[in-house]
Amino acid sequence: MAKLKVKFACTECGTESPKWLGKCPGCGQWNTMVEEKETVVKTQGMGSPLIQTKEKPRPIIHIESGQEKRIETTNLELNRVLGGGVVPGSLILVGGDPGIGKSTLLLQTSHALAAKNLTVLYISGEESVRQTRLRADRLGALTDKLYVLCETNMEQINDAIESVQPDFLVIDSIQTVYDPNVQSAPGSVSQVRECTAHFMRVAKIKGIATVLVGHVTKEGAIAGPRLLEHMVDCVLYFEGERHHSYRLLRAVKNRFGSTNEIGIFEMGEEGLREVNNPSELFLSERPLGVSGSTVVAAMEGTRPVLVEMQALVATTNFPSPRRMATGIDHNRMTLIVAVLEKRMGMFLQTQDAYLNVAGGIRLDEPAVDLAAAVSIASSFRDAPTRPFDVFFGEIGLTGEVRAVSRAEQRVKEAQKLGFKRVIMPKKSLKGWTPPAGIEIIGVETVAEALSKAFA
Ligand code: TYD
Ligand code: MG
């Protein structure tokens, strides 16, 4: 006989408690405990009653290895983020703000795979089949191997999987799916956890590559318990500014590849388009010969991108001047401003300073320091730097310019895009020969860099 139990679970980490608590004892977050009703059904063991396998432990040397077969999507950016394609039987979680393009990306991917003669099942819990068809019309994603179902009941979804036998399965979204054996509402901690666990078993046993779409909370994390991220093989975030047309796909966890890669897409009338040369996109609106604008050679994963860095320094009206950074860490900017004040004698105490990475991309590596410093100095002095200079290098507290990784790739990208000079850390010049046709200036201090930039 099933017994109804009331408990409270944290929406962040899944910690359970018999009574409500203001602060979660598991993760320390406030106001995250929500009531969950759960019917406790006695089952044998942990396995789902729907699927049972009898596997014995085997010596590891008897397990066939071979290269992991991957399904290559036609989308090079997606392949890159996944580490070379979709692994059969893997479970991928895709998160992102509403309206960012998750459904669009997955419908396009589904279509591309169906066009390669794979059977694809797209389960939409948010849109009707007609809406999905309308979207597919716009995207030109019409193939007969692409099956669409609008359903949220997990048992029905299971029947559909049984009848279609897909190679690739999309659940859009995991928060709308519910298991009728669990009493809580769809989207609650227990439902999301149970359903994900179920899809994980189905994926592993049947070898279906499965993509779950997840909503994100206000803070930007995937809604639902944190353990969701532990259960799946890959966690991808689809991000971007609503007012910019391009989107970044970033892996934060990947059991089959690196998490350093990003995929860049542009949202257009016909859905998402891959962006193969991001630097051109990021530099397309750059004004030439104005003060406060420089170009940085940054790395996004293993790929160099050139991005414009803008600074504006203006006399403040406040007792303490404002420091605002968009696209780079605020603390790094404060540090760079302090170095310029102390080591370069720039009187920035009475100046507001704004720093912006143009185009809305976020650069998290310290190699962007030098470009930020030169931009701020350029705006402060109201003196433009040469329009075809590129900067990179980390700045230390004594005003030294420190070595950064992958200098050669950054320089090559700058050369490819027709830049004339690179001002970079001297220590990063060791061990490789700079290409011809571009002037390389190795510097050791910020002072040296500024004197070269404004020469
Ligand atoms: P969608 O994929 O529905 O977002 P999500 O599933 O992440 O909530 O994306 C919807 C947005 O994308 C919507 O604002 C319209 C825009 N869009 C285009 O600009 N072009 C297109 O071809 C499509 C299909 C959508
Ligand atoms: Mg959607």
Query: Is 351 touching ligand 1 by the criterion CB < 6 Å?
Result: no
Interval 151-198: pLDDT, tens: 999 999 999 999 999 999 999 989 899 999 888 888 888 888 889 999
Give nearest CA residue, ligand 1 atom 2: 101
Q: How confident is the model at residue 13 (pLDDT cuts 50, 70, 90)?
A: confident
| Cβ pair 182, 218 in contact under 8 A | no
**pLDDT at position 218 over 70:** no
- The count of residues in the chain is 455
Q: How far is the CA of 429 from the centre of ligand 1 (A)?
A: 45
Q: Is the pLDDT of residue 326 over 70?
A: yes
Q: Distance between CA 455 and CA 402 in Å, rounded?
A: 22
Q: Ligand 2 center to residue 172 CA distance, Å?
A: 7
> Distance from the CA of 451 to the center of ligand 1, in angstroms?
48
Residue 137 in contact with ligand 1 by CB distance below 6 A: no
If one residue of 97, 103, 104 were mutated to test the ligand 1 pocket, choosing by the most ligand atoms within 8 A of its CB, it would be 104
Contacts of 443 (CB under 8 A, 6+ apart): 393, 401, 423, 424, 425, 426, 449, 452
pTM for this one?
Answer: 0.77
Residue with tokens 């050669």: 408
Among all bound ligands, the one having the nearest atom to the CA of 247 is: 1
DSSP-derived letter for residue 431 is T
Report whether residue 176 contacts ligand 1, using a CB cutoff of 6 Å: no
SS3 39: strand
C-alpha 104 – ligand 1 centre gap (Å): 6
More confident residue, 98 or 242: 98
Write the CB contacts of 453 (distance below 8 Å, at least 6 apart in sequence).
Answer: 294, 374, 377, 378, 385, 386, 389, 391, 423
* Residue 25 burial (C-beta neighbours within 10 Å; 0-12, 13-18, 19+): exposed
- Determine whether the shortest distance from the Cβ of 11 to ligand 1 is under 6 A: no
- The set of residues, in sequence order, having a beta carbon less than 8 Å from that of 118 and lying 6+ positions away, is 71, 145, 166, 167, 168
CATH number of 72-276: 3.40.50.300
pLDDT for 409-432, tens place per residue?
Answer: 999 999 988 999 999 999 999 999
**Which of the residue ranges 61-70, 75-84, 132-141, 291-300 would you say has the lowest mean pLDDT?**
61-70
Q: Is 271 in the pocket of ligand 1 (CB under 6 A)?
A: yes
Q: Does 107 score more than 60 pLDDT?
A: yes
**Residue range 326-332: mean pLDDT, rounded:** 93
The CA 200 to ligand 1 mean position distance, Å, reads 27
What dihedral angle (degrees, nearest 10) is formed by the CA atoms of 154, 159, 163, 166? 20
pLDDT at 382 exceeding the cut of 80? yes
Using CA atoms of 338, 341, 346, 351 in order, give the dihedral in degrees to the nearest 10.
Answer: 50
Do the strands 421-425 and 351-357 form a parallel or antiparallel pair, or are they unpaired? unpaired
Least confident window among 6-10, 128-132, 317-321, 438-442: 6-10
235 vs 259 pLDDT, higher one: 235
**Ligand 1: which of 134, 242, 245, 267 to mutate, judged by most atoms within 8 Å of the beta carbon?**
267
Asked if the peptide bond before residue 124 counts as cis, ω within 30 degrees of 0, the response is no
Of ligand 1's listed atoms, the one at least distance from the Cα of 127 is 3
Mean pLDDT lowest among 48-52, 79-83, 119-123, 130-134: 48-52
- Whose tokens are 């849109």? That residue is 127
Tell me if 48 CB under 6 Å of ligand 1. no
Ligand 1 touching residue 96 (CB < 6 A): yes
Q: Maximum Cα–Cα distance for the chain, whole Å?
A: 84
pLDDT for 41 beyond 80: no
Fold of 281-453: Ribosomal Protein S5; domain 2 (3.30.230)
- Residue having the nearest C-alpha atom to atom 21 of ligand 1: 271
**Ligand 1, atom 17, residue with closest C-alpha:** 271
Measured distance CA(182)–CA(267) in Å, rounded: 38
